[in-house]
Chains A and B, each alone.
Chain A
Amino acid sequence: MGQKDKAVRMSLQTLRVLEAFLENPADELAGADVQKRGQLASGTLYPILLRLEAAGWFVSRWEAVDPAHVGRPRRRLYRLTPSGLARASEVFASFGRGVTA
């Protein structure tokens, strides 16, 4: 776990973003998809995506389509990195401690 992993502030909105990805960690999600899953405002979502990517929790890539062909801009797709997945799991596990089902 790199030092930059520790630099992410765990706000409620950040947890919602991570939760959206943890539904299926292999999914690649665009910002609009995360918004729907996490019920987050765009003003909150995009800074969090950038922070998590810069901290190494996410990687992103452009959607493999031709904008001219599909008639729209390419979407930016985000995915959890293995270290990001492990760190996110740790965070949620720590929140789950002491909570009775």
Chain B
Amino acid sequence: MNSRNDKTDLAHRLILRAAQRAPAPLAPRLEEEWLADLGSRTGALSRLRLALGCCWAIGVIRHDFRVPQLAASGAAAAPKSLLGGWRYELPLLSRRTLAFIAIAAVHVLIIYVFISGLAQHVVASIPNITQAFVDPQLTPQHPLPAPPRTDFHLRPILVGPLDPPPLAKIEIGPDAPVLPDPGPRDSTDSTGQLPPQPPQRTAGGPGKGFPNTDDYYPATSRRIAETGAAMVRVCVDTQGRLSADPTIAASSGSRRIDDGALNLAKAGSGHYRPTLEDGQPVNSCFAYRIRFTLAN
């Protein structure tokens, strides 16, 4: 043997080890055959590639020839072939077929999980985080600010209790005074005479049939658990309908929340409770707060 076939050579040792794993009748043959082919290679990398290939090949050969079938003529006839009576049998299922079956089985399992409702148990265990709740601190209990004092003795403005709002998260905020509709009403006349008595004014707001806040909760905000409150200014006629597009009087800081509040305010047209003066509905503008919150 030359130096390349020295038993300390890694490629040489790999081939010997691979050949030992071959089916017994094939082992001596493969060892000699592969060592001869190894001898025809000069580069160390080329020899190593051959040896590694033989290691791979032995796994395939063991798979192909895993079922020994002795020749029907008996054991005496078998040694005539160096295959030693081992006969190649086309595997019933190739590796590719087995891989395909395995992948298909995984898909079937996943589909079964969804169809059988197993996944629903998992979904049901996730708490619902989008429940609405009433924030008692934000219900419209605060009285409107008193009018500025003058030298005249004026009858105080009495604001009647608001109807219980159908929507828990809509309020008349403390910073949302009723804004008198400018124009048709003027507190003084040309003579400078004061009006005899200021009318008793009851602020308007969302009335019966006003849309549900949850229906206008921005989907993205709900998904990312974004909350906030926007102050919306609306002008309402005596029929509770919007007389102008609503605007944001105080932003929530979120464009999505603001847009949701405006959409809700528009959708509520016709369901507003008009401002009352001396018991009579009047055109007016007022601001109220719409809050989008998530329950725990």
Q: Which of A35, A54, A60 has the most CB of B within 10 A?
A: A54
- Per-residue CB contact flags for chain A residues 58-101 toward chain B (1 = under 8 Å, else 0) read 00101100000001111110000000000000000000000000
The reply to whether B88 and A51 contact each other, CB–CB distance below 8 Å, is yes
Number of A-B contacts (CB under 8 A): 91
Q: Which residues of B from 176 to 230 have beta carbons under 8 Å from A?
A: none
Alpha-carbon distance A96/B86, docked complex (angstroms): 34
The reply to whether A75 and B88 contact each other, CB–CB distance below 8 Å, is no
The reply to whether B57 and A72 contact each other, CB–CB distance below 8 Å, is no
Alpha-carbon distance A53/B29, docked complex (angstroms): 14
Known: A47-B57, A50-B65, A76-B36. 4 other contacts (CB 8 A): A32-B36, A47-B61, A51-B88, A75-B37
Q: Provide the residues of chain A in CB contact with B60, threshold 8 Å.
A: 43, 47
The reply to whether B54 and A42 contact each other, CB–CB distance below 8 Å, is yes
| Contact flag A75-B36 (CB < 8 Å), given A7-B90, A53-B83 | yes
Chain A positions near chain B (C-beta within 8 angstroms)? 4, 7-9, 30-32, 35, 41-47, 50-51, 53-55, 60, 62-63, 71-76
Q: Which residues of B from 207 to 261 have beta carbons under 8 Å from A?
A: none
* B140 smallest CB distance to A (angstroms): 80
Contact of B53 among A43, A51, A53, A71 (CB under 8 A): A43
Contact of A42 among B49, B65, B87 (CB under 8 A): B49
Alpha-carbon distance A18/B36, docked complex (angstroms): 22
| Contact flag A71-B36 (CB < 8 Å), given A46-B30, A54-B88 | no
Q: Provide the residues of chain B in CB contact with A62, threshold 8 Å.
A: 32
Q: Provide the residues of chain B in CB contact with A32, threshold 8 Å.
A: 36-37, 40-41
The reply to whether A46 and B87 contact each other, CB–CB distance below 8 Å, is no
The reply to whether A43 and B52 contact each other, CB–CB distance below 8 Å, is yes
The reply to whether B35 and A73 contact each other, CB–CB distance below 8 Å, is yes
- Per-residue CB contact flags for chain B residues 47-75 toward chain A (1 = under 8 Å, else 0) read 00110111111001100110000000000
| Contact flag A76-B50 (CB < 8 Å), given A42-B57, A44-B57, A50-B88 | no
Closest to A76 in B: B33
The reply to whether A74 and B56 contact each other, CB–CB distance below 8 Å, is no
Alpha-carbon distance A44/B57, docked complex (angstroms): 6
Q: Which of A42, A54, A60, A75 has the most CB of B within 10 A?
A: A42
What are 6 A-to-B residue pairs whose CB atoms are below 8 Å? A30-B33, A45-B57, A46-B54, A47-B60, A71-B1, A71-B2
Contact of B39 among A9, A42, A72 (CB under 8 A): A72
The reply to whether B88 and A7 contact each other, CB–CB distance below 8 Å, is yes
* A93 smallest CB distance to B (angstroms): 23
- Per-residue CB contact flags for chain B residues 1-28 toward chain A (1 = under 8 Å, else 0) read 1100100000000000000000000100
The reply to whether A72 and B5 contact each other, CB–CB distance below 8 Å, is yes
The reply to whether B61 and A50 contact each other, CB–CB distance below 8 Å, is yes
